């Protein structure tokens, strides 16, 4: 298999695997088309199936010699109605409809709501949204056994459809028993990222952190209005954010979601933590080989906002055109990043660095890359924090992230502009400069005469000690020695 070449774009693509794509051949094709990391949705399939997917990704990763990130997305506490007599019914507009605790099959007048925590919580005037907002109920009266509603928007409803409660804080934990089992499995399989669904409060992250036992990175999915109100605290307790626009768009008015998306992306960027924009990005490509113009603009706007990654869901998991969806998303991102106004757009989000040496040097890297003709920024890091600091500044050139940690190399697969290479640690300044040059040459980040920024910390190997920046020029003899070394292997 040919050696993997670095991407010619900075934003990353996260592709969901499922029935249409969770096989070795399609995984390879999606990665070659542009997918940088893969999402495994724990809401579907069983652990045996997911274990095969993990194995297929890691086998392909070993073949190409390029670290690939895997995000395991936990299902979360999804609220659902019970079952109906005939599997479905119609709730007419304007009619009364009751949600109760009776386990008998429902009909056009009532259905079970198997979530006792909602009874006594809801109040007159609050909304209940069924089946992703397709049906809208307004509470007339609620007690410990029944919730009487009026159907403001009626329609067809079938068994086990979802329920959203946008006007109340529902006292349910972020992790269900299923989530705990899935999380244990994900850690056993060495997932790089854990996606926590339906986060409402910063406390929701605490149990997941404890169960992770220090392994993996935690991504909070922002899909509840309450989470938006606690955004700063949630961001502080997480390693990254996902703008999960599906449920967020159900519980909020549609016009509220775009400015919220920009705000969440901006806040994550300020914190130097990866942010993923997800859901319905190329939705029509589930069935069509081409996206709509509006979908193309949607993806482009996320790239212009400076998101670290854009995600494909059903488009690659269950759609008819998974490879084409990745290809088109790759092309959109490339085109945006070629726009002369792109650098200025993403620079609008730059923030003043903290008063630390590490942050000051990260800002200096971006400043130098704008002032001089630089081909890349080579970052030596063990934990990935130095790379995150530099990526936060959105420099004009890519990041070559050199790390002895495979965990770190895989995790930065979702980091803007980063190409990770696992390599042995360095022990001296001379070794740092020599290796920085060789790796830049070997991985196509510069040719003879090109200048590269090298960023590291002394003493070497100590996390969080970034204190050294050096601008080097790749010499002809370095290139010759590199060719001699590689030809002799």
Which residues is 71 bridged to in the sheet? 39, 193
Confidence of residue 173 (pLDDT cuts 50, 70, 90): confident
Q: What is the mean pLDDT of the chain?
A: 93
Predicted confidence band of residue 479 (pLDDT cuts 50, 70, 90): low
Strand partners, 156: 90
Rounded CA separation 367/85 (Å): 66
Model pLDDT for residues 124-169, shown as the tens digit of each residue: 999 999 998 999 999 999 999 999 999 999 999 999 999 999 888 8
CB-based contacts of 404, cutoff 8 Å, min separation 6: 382, 422, 423, 424, 425, 461
Mind listing the pLDDT tens digit for each residue in 260-295?
A: 999 999 999 999 999 999 999 999 999 999 999 999
Token code pair at residue 450:
């090109």
pLDDT at 129: 96
Packing angle of the helix pair 177-188, 204-212 (nearest 10 deg): 40
Same domain, residue pair 160 and 178:
no
Residues 453 and 397 in one domain: yes
The answer to whether residues 445 and 378 touch, using CB atoms and an 8 Å cutoff, is yes
Is 449 contained in some domain?
yes
- Which percentage of the chain shows pLDDT scores above 90? 82
* CATH number, position 263: 3.20.20.60
Residue 469: inside a domain, yes or no?
A: yes
pLDDT tens for each residue of 416-474: 999 999 999 888 888 989 999 999 999 999 998 999 999 988 766 666 667 889 999 99
Give residue 67's pLDDT. Answer: 97
Q: Is residue 369 part of a domain?
A: yes
Task: Choose one of 104, 133, 164: the last residue of a domain.
Answer: 164
Residue 276 belongs to what H/E stretch? strand 275-278
According to DSSP, residue 320 is labeled S
CATH of the domain at 124: 2.40.33.10
Asked whether the predicted pLDDT for residue 1 surpasses 80, the reply is: no
- pTM of the complete model: 0.92
- What is the DSSP secondary-structure string of 8-24? S-SSEEEEEESTTT-SH
> Token pair of 338, please?
């070629």
Buried b (16+ CB within 10 A) or exposed e, 375-388: bbbbbbbbebbbbb
Structural domain boundaries enclosing 447: 357-487
Q: Kindly tell me if the per-residue pLDDT of 18 is higher than 60.
A: yes
Q: Which pLDDT score, from 0 to 100, does residue 480 have?
A: 61
pLDDT score for 489 = 47
User: Are 306 and 417 in contact, with CB atoms under 8 Å apart?
Assistant: no
How far lies 256's CA from each of 193, 259, 438, in Å?
28, 6, 49
Please check whether residues 95 and 47 belong to one and the same domain. Answer: no
Torsions phi, psi of 469, nearest 5?
-130, 130
- What pLDDT, on a 0 to 100 scale, did the predictor assign at position 194? 98
The tens digit of pLDDT for each residue in 368-426 reads: 999 999 999 999 999 999 999 999 999 999 999 999 999 999 999 999 999 999 999 88
For residue 202, pLDDT beyond 60: yes
Q: Are 118 and 170 in contact (CB under 8 A)?
A: yes
Q: Which of 109, 135, 164 is the last residue of a domain?
A: 164
Going by pLDDT thresholds of 50, 70 and 90, the confidence category of residue 218 is very high
Angle subtended by helix axes 24-33 and 47-64, to nearest 10 = 50
Q: Is the domain of 147 the same as that of 186?
A: no
On whether the CB atoms of residues 417 and 396 are closer than 8 A, the answer is no
Average pLDDT of 479-485? Answer: 55
Q: Where are the beta strands (DSSP E) in 121-164?
A: 127-130, 135-142, 146-153, 155-158, 163-164
**What's residue 171's pLDDT?**
85
For residues 240 and 321, membership in a common domain is answered with yes
206 and 313 part of one domain = yes
Residue of 247 and 60 predicted with greater confidence? 60
Segment (H or E) for 376: strand 374-380
Residue 413 lies in a domain: yes
The residue behind tokens 């995150």 is: 388
- Alpha-carbon distance of 199 to 181, in angstroms, equals 18
Task: Decide if 5 is inside a domain.
Answer: no
**Does the residue 211 lie in any domain?**
yes
State how far the Cα of 406 lies from the Cα of 409, in Å rounded to an integer. Answer: 5
CA 165/CA 170 separation, integer angstroms: 8
- In a shared domain, residues 212 and 280: yes
Whether 298 shows a pLDDT value over 80: the answer reads: yes
What percent of the chain is predicted at pLDDT more than 70?
Answer: 94
Instruction: Report CA 404 to chain centroid distance, whole Å.
Output: 24
Residues carrying an active site annotation: 39, 80, 221, 279
Distance separating the N- and C-terminal Cα atoms of the chain: 17
Same domain, 334 and 208: yes
In which residue are the tokens 């194995």 written? 55
Domain count, the chain: 3
Mean pLDDT of the region 322-341: 97
- How confident is the model over 104-117, as pLDDT tens digits? 999 999 999 999 98
Is 337 in contact with 9 (CB distance < 8 Å)?
Answer: yes
Q: Does any domain span residue 82?
A: no
Residues 321 and 391 in one domain: no
Residue 391 near residue 417, CB atoms below 8 Å: yes
Flag whether 81 is in a domain: no
> Does residue 137 share a domain with residue 222?
no
327, 232: one domain: yes
Closest CA to 177 of 81, 76, 101: 76
Residue 399: what pLDDT? 97
Residue with tokens 């993403």: 346
Looking at the structure, do residues 310 and 450 belong to the same domain, yes or no?
Answer: no
What's the rounded Cα separation, in Å, for the pair 395 and 116?
A: 51
Q: Which of 107, 138, 164 is the last residue of a domain?
A: 164
Dihedral angle, C-alpha 108, 109, 113, 119, nearest 10 °: 160
């Amino acid at each position: 298999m040919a050696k993997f070449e670095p991407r010619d774009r900075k934003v990353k693509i996260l592709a969901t695997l499922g029935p249409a794509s969770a096989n070795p051949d399609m995984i390879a094709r999606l990665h070659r088309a542009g997918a940088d990391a893969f999402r495994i949705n724990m809401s579907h399939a069983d652990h045996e199936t997911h274990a095969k997917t993990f194995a297929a990704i890691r086998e392909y990763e070993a073949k190409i010699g390029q670290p690939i990130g895997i995000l395991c997305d936990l299902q979360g506490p999804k609220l659902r109605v019970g079952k109906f007599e005939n599997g479905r019914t119609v709730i007419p507009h304007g009619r009364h409809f009751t949600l109760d605790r009776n386990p008998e099959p429902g009909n056009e007048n009532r259905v079970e709501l198997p979530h006792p925590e909602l009874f006594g919580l809801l109040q007159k005037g609050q909304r209940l949204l069924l089946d992703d907002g397709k049906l809208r109920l307004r509470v007339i009266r609620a007690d410990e056994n029944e919730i009487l509603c009026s159907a403001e928007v009626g329609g067809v409803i079938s068994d086990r459809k979802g329920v959203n409660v946008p006007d109340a804080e529902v006292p349910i934990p972020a992790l269900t028993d299923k989530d705990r089992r899935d999380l244990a499995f994900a850690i056993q399989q060495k997932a790089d990222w854990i996606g926590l669904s339906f986060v409402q409060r910063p406390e929701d992250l605490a149990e997941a952190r404890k169960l992770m036992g220090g392994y993996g990175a935690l991504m909070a999915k922002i899909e509840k209005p309450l989470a938006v109100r606690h955004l700063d605290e949630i961001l502080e307790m997480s390693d990254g954010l996902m703008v999960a626009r599906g449920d967020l768009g159900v519980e909020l008015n549609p016009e509220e979601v775009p400015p919220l998306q920009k705000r969440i992306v901006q806040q994550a960027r300020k914190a130097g933590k990866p942010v993923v924009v997800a859901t319905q990005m190329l939705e029509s490509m589930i069935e069509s080989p081409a996206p709509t113009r509006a979908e193309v603009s949607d993806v482009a706007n996320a790239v212009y906002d400076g998101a670290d990654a854009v995600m494909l869901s059903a488009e690659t998991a269950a759609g008819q055109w998974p490879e084409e969806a990745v290809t088109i998303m790759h092309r959109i991102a490339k085109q945006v990043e070629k726009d002369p106004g792109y650098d200025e757009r993403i620079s609008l989000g730059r923030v003043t660095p903290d008063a630390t040496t590490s942050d000051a040097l990260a800002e200096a890297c971006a400043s130098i890359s704008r002032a001089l003709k630089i081909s890349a920024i080579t970052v030596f890091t063990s934990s990935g924090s130095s790379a995150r600091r530099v990526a936060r500044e959105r420099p004009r050139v890519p990041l070559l992230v050199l790390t002895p940690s495979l965990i770190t190399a895989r995790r930065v697969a979702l980091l803007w502009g980063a190409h990770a290479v696992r390599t042995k640690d360095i022990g001296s300044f001379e070794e740092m400069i020599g290796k920085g040059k060789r790796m830049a040459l070997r991985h196509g980040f510069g040719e003879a005469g090109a200048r590269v920024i090298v960023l590291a910390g002394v003493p070497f190997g100590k996390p969080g000690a970034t204190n050294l920046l050096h601008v080097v020029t790749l010499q002809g003899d370095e290139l010759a020695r590199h060719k001699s070394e590689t030809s002799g292997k």
